[in-house]
Structure 1
C-alpha cells in the first residue's frame, strides 16, 4: 500500500471514530483499536458536526417546502439533530448543570453528574438550550441561511473540544474523557482550522471573529468552573461546551444573517 493510500485510510478511520463518538449513526469499523485513537481522531469532530448540521438543515428545508411556518420547521430541525446525536450533548449539558449547580463538594458534584436522573438545574438548562436555539433558527427563517447557521454552529461548537480536552485535565481517571486521552497538537490545530473556516464561509470574516471570541470566552469560563468545582473536565463538561458553543453561534447567525448583515 502506498503512503498516500495509508494516509487516506487513516483519515477515513479517524472520521469514522469521530462520527461514532458524537452520533448514533452505525459506522462500520468505527471503534478505536488502540490507546490514543479517539484523541487523535478529534480533528474530525467539526467535520462530523458539519454533517449533523446538514441533516438538520435538510429537515428544515423539507418542512419549509411543505409550507410549515419557520417555528415548526426549526423545531423539527432541532429534533433531527438531537436524534442523530442521541441527545449526547444535551445529556452532558443537563448533567453539568445539575452537578455544578447542585453539589456542595467535589465528590458530590461528580456523583450527581454520573447519576442518570435529571434535576431542576438540568431541566432549566435544557429548556434554555432548546429555547434559544429554536428562537434563533425561527428568527433566521430563510432555509439557505438556516443551513449556513446550522453547519457553522455544529462544526464550530465541536472544533474547540480538542483544545478543551488538551488544556483541561480529566477530573477523574475512569471517565469517558480520561479514556479518550489528550489530543495531540496537530489534531487541535486541524479542528480549529476547520471550525474557523466553517464560521468564515457561513457568516463572513467579521462575524466569524465575533463567534470565535464568544466561543473562546465560553470555553475559558466553563474551564474555570470545571477546574474550580470538580478539578477538571469530564465527558459531560465537553457536552456542555458543545451545547453552549452551538447556542452562541446560532445567536450570532440570527443577529447578523436575519438582519441581512
Structure 2
C-alpha cells in the first residue's frame, strides 16, 4: 500500500471516530487508532467548513446572529453525534460524584447523566454560544470556526499523547500511543489554521492550552490518566476557551 493510501485510510478512520460523516467501509489492512491520531485536526477542519456553510446560509436567510450561533452549535453536535458533549457530562459526573479512582471511572461509564454533568455541559455550551455571538457580531465567521474546530482537536491529540490511559480498555486505551511524527503533523495543521486570526491567535491558543492542561492535570490526579470521556471533554473545554479568548479581540 502506498504512503498516500495509508494516510487516506487513517484520515477516514479518524473521521469515523470523531464524527458522523460518511466515510464508507475500510478494507484490510485497516489502520489502528494510534495511526490515525494525526488526522484529528483534519477532521476538525472538515467540520469547521461544514459549520461555516451553515452559518452563512443562516445569515443569507436573514436570521439574527443569535439564531445563527444556535444553528451552528446544534449542527456541530449533530455532526459529531454529541461525542464531546457526552464526554464533558460524564467527566463532570465522575469527577464530582466519585470519591475514589474506581468510583469515578465507574460513574463515567454510566450512560445516565447527573446534576454535575447537566451543570457542566449547560454552562460550557452557554459560554461558548455567547462568545460565538460576540465574534459573529463583529463579522468574523469562517476563519474562527475553522481555527477553533481544528485547534481544539489538536489539544485532544496532545492530551492523549502525554497522558497514560486510565483504563486497560476503552477508546483512551485503544488510541493511546506516544512518540513519532504524528503529533507534529497535527501541530503544523493547527498553526496554519490560526494564522488568519492575526494577533488574537496567541491568546486563543494560550486559552485553549490552559483549559486542556487544567483538565489533563485533574484527570491525572483523579483517575490516573486519560479516557475517551476525558478527551471529549478536553475538546469541548478547549473550544469554549478559544471562543471566549477570541471574543475579547472583536
Question: TM-score, normalising length from structure 1?
Answer: 0.90
Gaps of 5+ in 2: none
Q: 3-state DSSP class of the match of 2:118? A: helix
Separation in 2, partners of 1:147, 1:250: 13
- CA change 1:29–1:51 in 2 (3 A) is same
1:21 corresponds, among 17, 23, 30, to 17
Q: Is the 8 A contact 2:37 2:175 kept in 1?
A: no
Gaps of 5+ in 1: none
Moved more, 78-87 or 211-220: 211-220
1:230 — aligned with what? 223
Separation in 2, partners of 1:195, 1:165: 16
Q: 3-state DSSP class of the match of 1:160? A: helix
2:182 — aligned with what? 187
Moved more, 160-169 or 105-114: 160-169
Separation in 2, partners of 1:32, 1:243: 33
1:82 corresponds, among 77, 84, 91, to 77
- Please report how far the alpha carbon of residue 141 of structure 1 lies from its aligned counterpart in structure 2 after TM superposition: 2.3
Moved more, 130-139 or 83-92: 130-139
Moved more, 87-96 or 175-184: 175-184
Q: 3-state DSSP class of the match of 2:99? A: coil
2:37 — aligned with what? 42
Q: Is the 8 A contact 2:38 2:186 kept in 1?
A: yes
Residue 208 in 1 paired to residue 201 in 2?
Answer: yes
Question: TM-score, normalising length from structure 2?
Answer: 0.94
Separation in 1, partners of 2:69, 2:56: 10
Separation in 2, partners of 1:125, 1:55: 26
Deviations 1:89-114 (A, max 9, x none): 00001101111111111111001000
- Please report how far the alpha carbon of residue 81 of structure 1 lies from its aligned counterpart in structure 2 after TM superposition: 0.7
Q: 3-state DSSP class of the match of 2:113? A: coil
Separation in 1, partners of 2:95, 2:200: 31
Separation in 2, partners of 1:31, 1:183: 26
Residue 127 in 1 paired to residue 151 in 2?
Answer: no
Separation in 2, partners of 1:142, 1:54: 19
Deviations 1:127-179 (A, max 9, x none): 11211121122112259612111111110000122221121000010121101
User: Aligned-residue CA RMSD in angstroms?
Assistant: 1.8
- CA change 1:189–1:133 in 2 (3 A) is same
2:212 — aligned with what? 219
Q: 3-state DSSP class of the match of 1:28? A: coil
Separation in 1, partners of 2:101, 2:29: 33
1:52 — aligned with what? 47
Separation in 2, partners of 1:32, 1:71: 46
